[in-house]
Amino acid sequence: MISTWSTAAGRTLRAVRGASAPVTYGLIVACGLVFALGPASGLVPGYGSGDALLAAQRTYFRHWGVVPAELFDGPAGAALTPATALFVHGSWVHLLGNMLFLFVFGVMTEERMGRVEFTLFYVGCGYLALLGYAAANAASEQSLVGASGAVSAVLGAFLYLFPRARVTSLLPFLFFLPLRFPAWVVLPSWAALQWLAAGRASDGPGVAYLAHLVGFGLGFGYAWVRYGRTARVKAAAAPVTEGERQP
């Protein structure tokens, strides 16, 4: 069993190193492994079941996630949680939704930025997106986890760099028929939905729409300042399924 896992891990690492966007694929693999080994996946018997599993999940999310009330008034180590929270997800749907968007939009963005810059961009914007949400909800005791602040930044940068790239969206009011639209139509529409949802969001647990908006704005602004008008590329079509699930 151990040798099988070692062989699979070795193949995965070789595939990541040889890919055109190794950082994007590496982030997807890292998030997948962290989730699989955590209590939310249900794959590790050691966390128990029932109430014991729920308690383990709360402790896990509180330790690795962002708790706004502790971020500003708690121990110094809490300052690291906006970075660690980027690799922690609360459910399979949460994980798969974020990784789908990262896969679709991250590859072309990484190829345009380069590996080192894309890594710093992803982590930096993700950190600031979660920090912005925490600052706006400084009294909240709810744990915040997920990569969608960073992924939203990738979407914002993609919009600036590849505004004419055509993406496939599933529209519910058209019976989920796959239709292709330019990125400058799909992504601003997505951001507008996040804005509307953020205005209706409560203080309880759920989707951190504000983190999505902060990340999207940071990503678009970074690409605008960093690359200017000469950066825009007429890109090939990129498929995507509409709808991010959780923060």
Residues classed as catalytic: 148, 212
Rounded Cα gap, residues 120 and 126, in angstroms: 10
- In angstroms, rounded to a whole number, what is the distance separating the alpha carbons of residues 243 and 169? 9
Three-state secondary structure call for residue 84:
helix
Structure tokens at 194: 């996040």
Extract the tokens encoding 155. Answer: 């979407």
Q: List own/partner pairs for 177-183 with CB under 8 A and 24 or more apart.
A: 180/237, 183/158, 183/159, 183/238
CB atoms within 10 A of CB 62: 16
CA dihedral 103, 109, 115, 117 (to 10 degrees): -130
Residue 93's nearest CA partner among 83, 85, 104, 101 is 101
